[in-house]
Amino acid sequence: MSTPAGPRPGTPSPRRPSVLFEVGTGLVLHAVLVTSLFFLFRGHNAPGGGFIAGLVAGTALVLAYLAGDTSAGRRAAGATPRPGVVLGVGLLLAAGTAVAPWLGGGQVLESGYSHPHVPVLGGVSLASVLIFDIGVYLVVVGLVLAVLSTLGEQAGTSLAPGGEEDR
Amino acid sequence: MLAVLAAHAGLAVLAGLLAPRLGPRAFYVAALAPLSGVVLALAAAPDVLAGRAWGREVPWVPGLDLTVALRLDALSLLMLVLVSGVGTLIFLYCASYADRDSPLVRFAATLTAFAGAMVGLVLADDVILLYVFWEATTITSYLLVGLSDEDRTARRAAMQALLITTLGGLAMLLGLIVLAQQAGTTRLSEIVAEPPSGALVTAALLLVLLGALTKSAQVPFHPWLPAAMAAPTPVSAYLHAAAMVKAGVYLVARLAPGFAELSWWRPLLVSVGIATMLLGGWRSLRQHDLKSLMAYSTVSQLGFLTAVAAWGSAESAVAAALLLLAHGFAKAALFLTVGAVDHAAHTRDLRLLDGLGRRMPVLAVAATVAALSLGGVPLLLGFIAKEEVYTAFAEAEGTFATVALAGLVLGSVLTLGYAGRFLWGAFAGRPQPSGAEDLDAVPAGERAVAAQDVHAPGAGLVAPVVVLAAAAVALGVLPALLDPLVSAVAAPYPGAGEPVHLALWHGVTPALLLSVLTLALGVALVAARRRWGLLQRSVGRVLPQALDADRTYDAAVYGLDSAADVVTGRTQSGSLPRYLGVIALSATLLPLGGLALRGADLAPGVIVDRPVQIGVGVVIALAALAAARTSSRFAAVLMLGGVGYGVAALYVLQGAPDLALTQFLVETLSVVIFLLVLRLLPRRFPVQTRRSRLRRAAVAVTVGVGMTVLTLAATSVRVRPSVAEEFVARSKPEGGGLNVVNVILVDFRGLDTLGEITVVLIAALGMSSLVLTLRRGRPGADGPHDAVRREEPEVRAP
């Protein structure tokens, strides 16, 4: 895994993925992430939505992880938030959107479409469910981050005490 | 009344907030809470004593017909005097008693909350509300007994009190519900006024009484009370003498006007009460710890109270009311005395306390008054109460009344015995060692604490005791002061006629003669202290240990633990394939069973739209077979991914792009996650025995065939039009979106989605902590460097 300072004693030397994969990841990584945002924002009217967009972003993260010890991975190094934070912010956004109308005197989860005659793409009216969808997106991304950061670590150690879990 | 409850709640929070700054003085602030109860009692007294109860109703959960119904009648007033009046004194005492380094925040806040729960309990008229306050006292009591949470004994005592009283509490809830259903009302006052009858009512009452008897520590549930002495002494004085343990007696007294005439009521409750009284008195006479002595004394007096309250005649109601007051005052005073002595001498062992009375004369005098009142010595409140008890039972008809009276007299003799033993132990000088064997002599290797070794307790510790003792004297000399109160308490009972007149001298009556007899025997018991001790020890050696209720409790708790252990061991084998098999089989066979009972049309509708679907289906089937056949984990994962992609392709063919997209992505991610885990597992599956393979094949075929049948049935059982059309129609105008799937997810079924992402979050957290725990559980698997690094996710996103 990503051990920038070279192999530490006692750990298996990281095997480099194929050059093709490395370069390919560098090429498509950003494109995939942008695609995920595309799916997120158009989701209300065409195939997509927060869940799908989150999964797309998840595949991008997986790519970045698999290419982790490569130049592409290092270039991509930046501030990655902790999975817990992403998950928490996501749920907070979704729950907040759910509760906000109620605090304002409406019903829980009441969407911003109280006036059916407002044109669909009329900006403001789109807002409330989009925030909800962004919350869903973040939760899915947070899940993938959590998987990668826990299961992705520690190659070479067996999880099952006896090394064998089928019984 | 609501204001008083609110004051308790508010002050509980306030006292907790102020405790770090004010230290023990926070109790002065908290004392305002019970003081508000006293004010309520004073304000309501004129009306209540004239027979007009105060009532208050506030809707609580209208949908469930739950109401916060409060009612302040004479019995409640009496209890309020105990709970809030004695409570105020105890709060003031706490301010001097508590150490700065004790957990003051918890102490002050919980004690105030307890006082509030207790006030609510005695005011509640709705049975469900009563139960809520009842359990609130249980929970606060648990926290208070376990206040010193680093002490193993305290934790065990708190748990024991919690388990036993909650056991009774749950039974009580059941009983109260049945009782309310049979009576057609949840109002306690109405139930008692027009008591229902029948076998169901008897069962309900027995359940309710189980709650009352556990709460008031009656045989065989008594051991929790002496154990609960691990609590700080003021807590014991309040919970275990004046207030909480009286809740059971209160409930018995509350129900007695309506149900005392039932054939089983008196024999059961009076017998239990007298048995408790005798057992408590007997055990009390053998204790060396002053506090344990008081605890068993309380058990004994609670038995006394239960027996008298359960008798349920107008005379016995008067007696019970007096006894409640007398015991509340005297016992709280004596507990507070123990606290003061402990504070000064740092021990409560009566074998070690040598002549402390000389050092603390005021306390000694006040405690003597309280102890004598407890023992029923004339000119004190306890005497008046005991006279009334004897009168009530002597005038009642029937053999059982006479037997009960004999038991009560015997119990009262023991009471005098331990009251004397308490005074002798706390304040008198130790006898010179003589040749005779004395169980109360200073134990070998210990040194007695003499009067000159201790400091006198502060005024804050003595004053409450003096006030309580003074009350016992005042009411004992002028019992007529209590006439209106006891008359009002007795009013609901059948046969209550003219107002009661209490007096010190009734002339030479049977009751007086019995009192004289009690006094004479009691004094003899105190005088023969040493020989009686030896006698009790020899009797104790003869009795089998199986009679020890505490052992029974231990055995029950241990038995429950090991039963749970066995059940868990049998059902939670830890084998993933077995869990999967159980889940899959249940998910298939249960609906199939339902289907078999109901019958369904299995004729398939359209199975194939286009030929290409057949091709995809064949690919899926081949991939599934390959996944099952291969011995390589890696290949199996890839094949499973193939199955998933195939299904996604079917979605595409059916025109469900959202579904297909989701399926593709989920499959992709699943394969990667599987591979991450595979790195930690052996490359190949272990070799299976033939039997194991057949078993797995059977499960797989059952689930597969079952799901097929269910799917076919599901397509044919629709009786209402699909919601899909409605959703599609409403999507644009109401949801404002053209993609109906997304509109359903974020709008129509937004709450479902919210629930689902919450599950996702919990799953992510659970997985993380599970994996981290597994790693931490293996020492040497990773160094400290890794432990730090783990905090940062390995993934780098741009």
Pick the residue from chain B with its C-alpha nearest to A119: B736
> Do A45 and B737 count as a contact with CB atoms less than 8 A apart?
yes
In chain B, residues with a C-beta closer than 8 Å to the C-beta of A78 are 796-798
- How many domains is chain A built from? 1
Higher-scoring residue by pLDDT: B600, B631: B631
State the CB neighbour count (10 A cutoff) for residue B341: 30
| Candidates A125, A151, A158, partner chain B, best to mutate (most B CBs within 10 A) | A151
Residue B715 resides in a domain: no
> Do B757 and A136 count as a contact with CB atoms less than 8 A apart?
yes
Answer whether B502's CB lies under 8 Å from B387's CB.
no
Between A10-24, B193-207, B417-431, B735-749, the lowest mean confidence (pLDDT) is in A10-24
Q: Alpha-carbon distance A17 to B346, whole Å?
A: 74
Give pLDDT tens digits for B210-238.
999 999 999 888 889 988 888 888 898 99
> Do B781 and A157 count as a contact with CB atoms less than 8 A apart?
yes
Residue A140 resides in a domain: yes
Mean pLDDT of B128-138: 94
Residue B161 resides in a domain: no
What pLDDT is attached to residue B751? 84
Reported as half-sphere exposure (CB side, CA atoms, 13 A), residue B552 has a value of 13
Residue B266 resides in a domain: no
**What ipTM was estimated for this complex?**
0.75
- DSSP, residue by residue, B172-211: HHHHHHHHHHHHT--BHHHHHHS---SHHHHHHHHHHHHH
In angstroms, what separates the C-alpha of B196 from chain A's closest C-alpha? 45
Residue B117 resides in a domain: no
- How many domains is chain B built from? 2
Residue A120 resides in a domain: yes
Residue B133 resides in a domain: no
Residue B21 resides in a domain: no
Residue A165 resides in a domain: no
Answer whether B158's CB lies under 8 Å from B205's CB.
no
Residue A156 resides in a domain: no
Residue B218 resides in a domain: no
Give pLDDT tens digits for B330-356.
999 999 999 998 888 888 888 888 888
Pick the residue from chain A with its C-alpha nearest to B771: A150
Structure confidence at residue A107 as a pLDDT band (50, 70, 90): low
**What separation in angstroms does the CA of B420 have from each of B164, B284, B301, B350?**
31, 11, 15, 12
Beta pairing, strands B449-450 & B353-354: parallel
Residue A1 resides in a domain: no
Residue A46 resides in a domain: yes
Pick the residue from chain A with its C-alpha nearest to B798: A76
What pLDDT is attached to residue B777? 61
User: Which residues constitute the domain of residue A45?
Assistant: 19-151
Residue B610 resides in a domain: no
Q: Average pLDDT over chain B, rounded to whole?
A: 86
Closest partner residue to B577 (CB to CB) among A43, A84, A166 is A166
φ and ψ at residue B375, rounded to 5 degrees: -75, -10
Give pLDDT tens digits for B456-500.
888 888 999 999 999 999 998 888 888 888 888 888 887 776 777
Structure confidence at residue A106 as a pLDDT band (50, 70, 90): low
| Residue carrying the six token digits 């132990």 | B425
| Candidates B757, B759, B791, partner chain A, best to mutate (most A CBs within 10 A) | B757
What is the three-class DSSP state of A160? coil
In angstroms, what separates the C-alpha of A86 from chain B's closest C-alpha? 10
Q: Could you tell me the end-to-end alpha-carbon distance of chain B, in angstroms, rounded to an integer? A: 63
Residue A10 resides in a domain: no
User: Which residues constitute the domain of residue B482?
Assistant: 274-432+447-496+504-527
Does B625 score more than 80 pLDDT? yes
Pick the residue from chain A with its C-alpha nearest to B777: A161
